[in-house]
Structure 1
Amino acid sequence: MPLSNPGIAFAVVVVAVITLACRLAPFALLRGRRSPLLAFLADAMPLGVMIVLAAYTLDGVSLAPASWLPAVAGIAATAGLHLWRRSIGLSLIGGTAVYVAASLAMA
């Protein structure tokens, strides 16, 4: 049975509320608590996220400069911005912008 437009809108709202609740639950449950595990995760997660993103960027890179040059430029920009400002948001957005610009320039 196909959904009508109001049915689709209702489904999207329900999914959005559930997603928001799942993302807020850990913060609400752990408010005011500071365990050694949480301290370790707070220190290790930013680097872990960067490593995963770098590995994902390099997946499928070939020896052609049009393939590896944008990836290397994006990773270098991300690392440079992070070392300069220590801002994960700036690093991710700046590195992504450099990667996209280099990819478009090489196309």
Structure 2
Amino acid sequence: MTLTEQVITIAACAIGTMLTRYLPFLVFSSRKPTPDYIQYLGRALPCAIFAMLVVYCLKDVTITAGSHGLPEAIAIAVTILLHKALHQMLLSIAGGTICYMLLSQYLFTH
């Protein structure tokens, strides 16, 4: 990439990021109430996105071969238990990820 292409790419990324951050504040005024469908999306989308991520992460797990999905199942259980105990999403995700990595690297090696 030339220097000009790099500058254009960085500028496009910065503008795109700023646009997605500032656009809701420009579209939805603080003087008018937020529309009901936007409030619904704010409640429903986070759960839907996490469900989609779980499905995506488990799409290649085969329970009939290898470790039979045990590291994944254990890591999911650890994530759920951490979230129920701590109510901290980032800690739950990090704990489940670390658990999975340790299990897959050291205990369930192929």
| Percent of aligned pairs with the same amino acid | 22
Q: What residue ranges of structure 2 are gaps of 5+ in the alignment?
A: none
Question: Counting helix residues as a fraction of each chain, which structure ranks higher?
Answer: 1
User: Over aligned residues, Cα RMSD in angstroms?
Assistant: 2.4
Which string of whole-angstrom CA distances, capped at 9 and with x for unpartnered residues, describes residues 41-98 of structure 1? Answer: 2322232122112211211111235351221122222222222233332222222222
Q: Structure 2 vs 1, CA of residues 7 and 25 (structure 1 numbering), >3 Å: closer, same or farther?
A: same
Q: What residue ranges of structure 1 are gaps of 5+ in the alignment?
A: none
Q: Taking structure 2 as the reference length, what is the TM-score of the superposition?
A: 0.71
* Larger RCO, structure (CA 8 Å, separation 6 or more): 1
| Corresponding residue number in structure 1 for 2:18 | 21
Q: Taking structure 1 as the reference length, what is the TM-score of the superposition?
A: 0.73
| Corresponding residue number in structure 1 for 2:42 | 42
| Corresponding residue number in structure 2 for 1:68 | 69
Give the alignment of 1:69-84 within 5 angstroms. Answer: 69-84=70-85
User: Rg larger in 1 or in 2?
Assistant: 2
